[in-house]
Chain A
């Protein structure tokens, strides 16, 4: 495409035709403040924070949606522009609660940063402001419309990227509010709990349901044995809570910190990730060789599972019946480990550190527990884990490296990569090959680079003995819908589909650290670095296939028999059922 040249603040910049003024300014290292704009979402142009002056125009224009033109003369920081921008943010703040000190997003709020950069030092209009109740009905998320600045990022990510479309802006003018259909309680809506709204929200209008208080109470309870597990993606991001750059897996410090919190037993979800692979790969080999149902679709992601129950009930028989690693670990801790240690499972308080808000919902699913006793009692997000460490005075940065406890802590490289999109597929292929042919993949064929990366939807064909396995890897539910539609239209036939609800997979989960100053939420470079940290763990491990994990071999010998055995089915597999939330289809009961 042809290039155009314009002048911004007296400096010339050349950009491709079709760029917006904001993009041109970014290219010229000129930062225009922004609020409703997000590079991964459609342009809304609603907040007007990004207004600039264009020579020859009598009004200021919103630079996020105004196309740059050849020869244009733009000024982004004249006194008038700065004053107007400040007024716009000031008005937003005047309609916002004055509770920064006690707000969850204190120190990590885009509105706060904007106010600081604009130089807003007082509130001018202390009149009426909007008042709404918080919606705390969902086990995963809290919606607090009072904090909302109506940027519409949540509405757009929910509709455009996740295609759940739970949210919309309702009413108008001063009464406008973001809400689900019919203002239904969140727990009854199509919300899948993925938490991407939390990630893109510039304020605290969406946050995760807090579980730190119950966790701290359990730590203090002398009767309870607190057993912890931590998902792969958490170690790739937890350092960011303490100011480290992404790109390093902080495994050792993470385990050390958990002991110093007073956790009794430090296990690792990666053990159960290896266990998941044993069951899921066995299931896939059986379905692949005995004819179906194919494609076999992964089931580790709780957001995707709820989404499938809402929107693709016909596909439920295709989902792997294997529980997620978190729930497998929970079940095994309260059965195998409890028996081994001779403790009453009701004394075990099972805590999972997850990059995910939907896991909080998963933990409440009755069918995953045992007769009313949940497999996992408490789920903390990566952010909550970071806060708990700060709260308890753990100096994460200087901790030594430690190992997790045995026997549910050991893991292979295959388990570490679960946290990045494509990782489950790669891990499953390594073990499925061994299960199907009785021998390991050659050393140089163990990495499946074709399923790695951050493209929303990736297709690959992998040789599998004489046959070929046709694979799709999707992250972001819009990408999942795309491949499912293509299957329905008969355009593509597949054997295996991996779906992760969040862009990037679990490393981009709704419970991961907020992107800090100077970064937009969902920053792709951050995702790439977090993934790199996990692939690094994999290549450093001596054992890189789940079936090589000695503790996995032992649990099958001692307890489970073999994959898909009766006992494995009882403890490690589950079922799904269609859900009809408010607003999906017309039903008498809904009115």
Chain B
């Protein structure tokens, strides 16, 4: 998924965040911890990571020290404190996938993208996860997940085509977005 990181500069986005925090606060008056998790999920889903600026804002709004919010956000592997690529690739390293050759699939992914596990491509399109243990689909080993898509029985020679599909999807999405912006601009102009 392509993240709209421009929203970080938009007052409407922060207003939306404030409204969400307020709802969570009201729903969980006795536990900032309970209120915090969905808020962090929301931020992570919007940007693919939790920016420091958002941590400070959430901390202030919930009345919790920023150090504690950092503690929670860094504990769960779901949250990232660094920007992640549009697509997160997890090649399962569980036992079943491993014995059926997932290491060579992971190696091929890294070779194609020229990154190491845990890194993000410079164009911010792909992040290769370094912490994919059993994904729970051992019958289809070796398994690779790209965001929510499950790719079963992956062979190294298929990797290039799979990645090409996502690159094409990202191009289409970017093009559509540029067209939308153009239409908007034209509408405003008229």
Contact = CB atoms under 8 A, between A and B. Distances in A.
Nearest to B68: A168
A104 B74 CA distance: 31
A165 B65 contact: yes
A583 B66 contact: yes
A181 interface: yes
B66 A182 contact: yes
A448 B66 CA distance: 41
A583 to B, nearest CB: 3
A586 B51 CA distance: 11
Given A169-B71, A586-B60, A591 B65 contact: no
Interface string B53-84: 10111011000011111110011000000000
Interface string A576-591: 0000001111111011
A166 interface: yes
B56 A583 contact: yes
B52 interface: yes
29 contacts: A159-B65, A159-B68, A165-B65, A165-B68, A168-B65, A168-B67, A168-B71, A170-B75, A171-B74, A172-B74, A179-B67, A181-B56, A181-B59, A181-B65, A181-B67, A182-B52, A182-B70, A190-B65, A190-B67, A582-B66, A583-B56, A583-B59, A583-B65, A583-B66, A585-B56, A586-B56, A586-B57, A586-B60, A587-B56
B70 A168 contact: yes
A414 interface: no
B66 A591 contact: no
A180 interface: yes
Nearest to B65: A165
A585 B65 CA distance: 10
A588 to B, nearest CB: 8
Contact of B70 (A170, A587, A590): A170
B75 A171 contact: yes
A591 B59 CA distance: 14
A167 interface: yes
B1 to A, nearest CB: 23
Contact of B60 (A167, A190, A585): A585
A169 B68 CA distance: 8
A167 B65 CA distance: 9
Interface string A143-166: 000000000000000010000011
A568 B68 CA distance: 44
A217 B55 CA distance: 45
Contacts of B51: 591
A591 B75 CA distance: 21
B75 A172 contact: yes
Nearest to B14: A586
Contacts of B74: 170-172
Nearest to B58: A586
A561 to B, nearest CB: 46
Contacts of B56: 181, 583-587, 590
A171 B167 CA distance: 32
A591 B55 CA distance: 10
B177 to A, nearest CB: 24
Contacts, number: 64
A182 B65 CA distance: 12
Nearest to B72: A168
A180 B69 CA distance: 11
Contacts of B60: 584-586
A357 B89 CA distance: 49
Contacts of B75: 170-172
A583 B53 CA distance: 9
Nearest to A164: B65
Interface in A541-591: 582-588, 590-591
A559 B81 CA distance: 59
B64 to A, nearest CB: 8
A154 to B, nearest CB: 11
Interface string B83-119: 0000000000000000000000000000000000000
Given A586-B60, A591-B53, 13 more contacts: A165-B65, A165-B67, A169-B71, A170-B70, A170-B71, A170-B74, A170-B75, A180-B67, A182-B70, A582-B66, A583-B56, A583-B65, A585-B56
B55 A182 contact: yes
Given A172-B75, A585-B60, A586-B57, A167 B52 contact: no
A179 B60 CA distance: 19
Contacts of A172: 74-75
Contact of A586 (B53, B67, B70, B71): B53
A150 to B, nearest CB: 12
Contacts of B65: 159, 165-166, 168, 181, 190, 583
B67 A591 contact: no
A181 B34 CA distance: 20
B51 to A, nearest CB: 7
A190 B68 CA distance: 13
B71 A590 contact: no
B70 to A, nearest CB: 5
B188 to A, nearest CB: 27
Interface in A343-382: none
A116 B74 CA distance: 35
A111 B70 CA distance: 28
Contact of A590 (B53, B67, B68, B69): B53
Nearest to A591: B53
State the 4 A-B residue pairs at the shortest beta-carbon distance, nearest first.
A583-B66, A165-B65, A168-B71, A181-B66
Nearest to B64: A165
A167 B67 CA distance: 6
A476 B161 CA distance: 63
A582 B59 CA distance: 12
Contacts of B53: 586, 588, 590-591
Nearest to B69: A181
Interface in B34-63: 51-53, 55-57, 59-60
A138 to B, nearest CB: 15
A177 to B, nearest CB: 9
Interface string A375-411: 0000000000000000000000000000000000000
Contacts of A159: 65, 68
Contacts of A590: 52-53, 56
A591 B47 CA distance: 15
A181 B71 CA distance: 8
A167 B52 CA distance: 16
Contacts of B57: 586
Given A168-B71, A170-B71, A170-B74, A584 B52 contact: no
Nearest to B77: A172
Nearest to A588: B53
A583 B57 CA distance: 9
A185 to B, nearest CB: 14
A584 B66 contact: yes
A591 B52 contact: yes
A549 to B, nearest CB: 44
Contacts of A583: 55-56, 59, 65-67, 70
